[in-house]
Amino acid sequence: MASKFPLVRTLAKRTYAVAAVENQVLSNNLTVASAPSNLKGLCKVALVVRAGSRYETMDNYGASHLLRASLGLTTADASSFSIIKNLGKLGATMSATSDRETLVYTLNATCDQLDDALKYFKAAVAKQEFRPWELSEVYPRLKYELAIRPPTSLVLDLVHKAAYRTGLGNSIYAKEYQLKKLCPETLKHYVNSRFQTSKMAVVGVGVDQSTLTSFAESLGFQTQGGSSSTPSTYHGGEVREDANTPLAYVVLVGEGAALNKKEVFTYGVLRYALGGGCSIKRGVGSNPLSKVVSKSFDATHAQAVNFSHSDSGLFGLFLATTPENTKEAVTGAMKALKDGVTEADVNRAKSQLKAQALYESESDDGVLTDLANQAVLLGGGKNASSLVSEIDSVTTSQVEEALKKFLNGKKSLAAYGNIANVPYLDEF
């Protein structure tokens, strides 16, 4: 994910640290990976679990969202007060993030305090109990998070529902009516089914591999593999949700490439060739989609989007436009895509993609996030030189073929906001 903004997410999960990455698979099938830090004296450790929303069922929808918000509650090894107070005393911080694939617990600490901080980090993530009176204090925070979701996040969530229905189509957000159904027993069952060593990784930046290995071996999670997840099938479809917003938000996608496919680099280049966002602050850009926006619809934003998951991917367009311009903006953007890309577009896109990948590797947070996803979804990390080499190997003909596949393939459409003028899927 390296970027925290969904619209910027493309090849981020395949971004690699510049320095050498050390990988190891323990006897219990738990993956351990480490990379050097760009900042001396600071250490970062993450426990990564394949426990994102795609693994939820109708009985526990929203479990991953609630788990993310429940970090720091009392466990069998320590009280919430003890965990928070002692980590604060050490100058350490702890956080949790989640998406469709993973749930990630992260510890930040100075290297001289790492050993003690890891004790409380372990206490927080292992043997969680989910006491009812503590969970009741988490629900208001979740309701607040649901209330402040931006329209862009909502429409990107909807397009996954349209494309996959279940699995990757599950929302990354809990439903408010579902919160009371997520009782301690439900969360414990979800944790027991997902927190197994074959579905986990421990990664670190600025931490010795031996330290990470010792920590991983001490966690005590179940070693059985459990049932493997069912791959998500791309179906295509349409989801529309009216809302009282000044703009209409539209995402039109087709099936892209999974993270473990070489084509993921082709779609990454295609995104930048068409317009993956502006490289200049407050600028419009010179890519095909930006030209359509700037010449025809002053109040329209358009860019290409690319989402790569472990077993599938989505590629397409995102538009935010005033309601009266919606139909013309969508059809205009599709027309711009039919004009194709030039070799100059592809060369520019390759340079932008390589630069973005290397920029991400300058940040320890970016390195940790990328390393976490690589370790748990791809089995280990790689260095930046291999990424740059694979981007360089992408040809113009491959990019043109990927664009052709999108234009001719089965589409998925999501629309949110003031959407009366948004074309229906069968109109394309």
Nearest to 48 by CA among 221, 259, 265, 260: 221
Indicate the CATH number for domain 20-218: 3.30.830.10
Q: What percent of the chain has pLDDT over 70?
A: 89
CA dihedral 105, 111, 115, 119 (to 10 degrees): -30
Residues 6+ apart with CB under 8 A from 146: 173, 174, 176
Give the model's pLDDT for residue 356. Answer: 87
CA-nearest of 258, 231, 353, 240 to 314 is 258
Rg (CA), the chain: 22
Q: Is 88's pLDDT higher than 50?
A: yes
Q: Is the dihedral of CA 50, 229, 414, 349 positive or negative?
A: positive
For residue range 147-195, what is the model confidence (pLDDT) as tens digits?
A: 999 999 999 999 999 999 999 999 999 999 988 889 999 999 999 999 9
Q: How confident is the model over 195-248, as pLDDT tens digits?
A: 999 999 999 999 999 999 999 999 999 887 555 677 899 999 999 999 999 999
Cα–Cα distance for residue pair 235/362, rounded to 1 Å: 38
pLDDT at 295: 66
Instruction: Please report where in the chains the tokens 């995402």 appear, as a residue.
Output: 251
Rounded Cα distance between 395 and 341, Å, is: 12
What pLDDT score does 7 carry?
34
Residue 15, pLDDT score? 42
pLDDT reading at 426 higher than 50: yes
Q: What is the CATH number of domain 237-427?
A: 3.30.830.10
Lowest mean pLDDT among 17-21, 96-100, 149-153, 392-396: 17-21
Pairing type for strands 237-242 and 412-417 reads: parallel
Average pLDDT over residues 132-139: 95
Grouping H, G, I as helix, E, B as strand and the rest as coil, residue 235 is: coil
Find the range with the poorest average confidence among 24-28, 106-110, 171-175, 230-234: 230-234
Q: pLDDT digit string (tens) for 330-365?
A: 988 898 899 899 999 999 999 999 998 888 888 899
Q: Using the CB atoms, write b or e for 233-271: b if 16+ within 10 Å.
A: ebebbbbbeeeeeebbbbbbbbbbbbbeeebbbbbbbbb
Asked if residue 409 lies in contact with residue 257, where contact means CB atoms within 8 angstroms, the answer is no
Q: Identify residue 269 by its one-letter amino acid code.
A: V
Per this entry, what is the length of the chain?
428
Give the residue carrying structure tokens 């479809």: 237
* pTM of the full structure: 0.91
The pLDDT of residue 61 is 96
Sheet with 301-308: list strands edge to edge: 237-242, 412-417, 248-255, 313-321, 301-308
Per-chain mean pLDDT for the chain: 90
Beta strands in 71-160 (DSSP E): 93-98, 103-110
Q: Which range is least confidently modeled, 55-64, 297-306, 327-336, 399-408?
A: 297-306
- For Cα atoms 153, 171, 13, give the angle at the middle one, nearest 5 degrees: 70
DSSP, collapsed to helix, strand or coil, labels residue 125 as helix
Counting Cα atoms < 13 Å in the Cβ hemisphere of 120 gives: 27
Among 7-21, 63-77, 197-211, 246-260, the minimum mean pLDDT is found in 7-21
Judge whether 32 and 207 are in contact, CB under 8 Å: no
10-14, 90-94, 268-272: least confidently modelled range: 10-14
Is there a shared CATH topology between the 20-218 domain and the 237-427 domain? yes
Instruction: Give the residue extent of every domain in the chain.
Output: 20-218, 237-427
